[in-house]
Chain A
Amino acid sequence: GAVVSQHPSWVICKSGTSVKIECRSLDFQATTMFWYRQFPKQSLMLMATSNEGSKATYEQGVEKDKFLINHASLTLSTLTVTSAHPEDSSFYICSARDPGVIDGYTFGSGTRLTVV
């Protein structure tokens, strides 16, 4: 089946630094990827929709200059948290649409970001 690889699985960074999270579709081409954020014991909140070769579409309230999304190829999307602060600490999960499956969504394993 479709596999999405997300790296790193966890990262600790200092406040003010930037962190990049990668999301790769391993055996299919994903024209669309999604980035979610999940706070402890809460649901997944969609941050943005990433389309290959075009600008990402951000959900209301998400700072596009803080959460930079790049989808330069059909198998890779990256989320960069710029100038991270402790309140950015969260679990980030990516998801890729498999165009060969009716509403097929495959999720990465998530990245636990801790900003200290």
Chain B
Amino acid sequence: AQSVTQLGSHVSVSEGALVLLRCNYSSSVPPYLFWYVQYPNQGLQLLLKYTSAATLVKGINGFEAEFKKSETSFHLTKPSAHMSDAAEYFCAVSPGGATNKLIFGTGTLLAVQP
């Protein structure tokens, strides 16, 4: 079975500081991995995804993530936080294939302090 674990339900950074949101996955098959952002009372917006191509994935809004098979990790980073980055972030895994469903982590709420 596939699953993702997000370490840290709340992360607070200062504006301009590095953002690091952690995600570890468990999958019996090569996974597809995703990071989504959710603003209050809204749906999810895709930041980036890994689909077995380049291990370093660049996404929107300056975010990127690196797939590390040896560490079963897919951590999300951004060099310099903006106030507008404050939101809930979800890591998700899809086994691909016939099921095609996304399994979400518990989410990390990012707060950006001025």
Contacts and interface: CB of A to CB of B under 8 A. Distances in A.
A103 B43 contact: no
24 contacts: A6-B43, A32-B100, A34-B101, A41-B109, A43-B90, A43-B105, A43-B107, A44-B90, A46-B101, A46-B103, A93-B44, A95-B44, A103-B32, A103-B34, A103-B49, A103-B51, A105-B46, A105-B102, A106-B46, A107-B36, A107-B43, A107-B44, A110-B41, A110-B43
A110 B42 CA distance: 6
Given A6-B43, A109-B43, A110-B42, A43 B100 contact: no
> Which among B32, B44, B104 has the highest number of chain A CB atoms within 10 Å?
B44
Interface residues of A, number: 24
Interface residues of B, number: 24
Contacts of A105: 34, 46, 94, 102
Nearest to B95: A103
Instruction: Return the 4 tightest CB-CB contacts between A and B, nearest first.
Output: A107-B43, A107-B44, A109-B43, A103-B32
B68 to A, nearest CB: 19
Interface of A: 4, 6, 32, 34, 41-46, 49, 91, 93, 95, 97, 102-103, 105-110, 112
B45 interface: yes
Contacts of A97: 100
Contacts of B104: 43-45
Contacts of A107: 36, 43-45
A32 B49 CA distance: 19
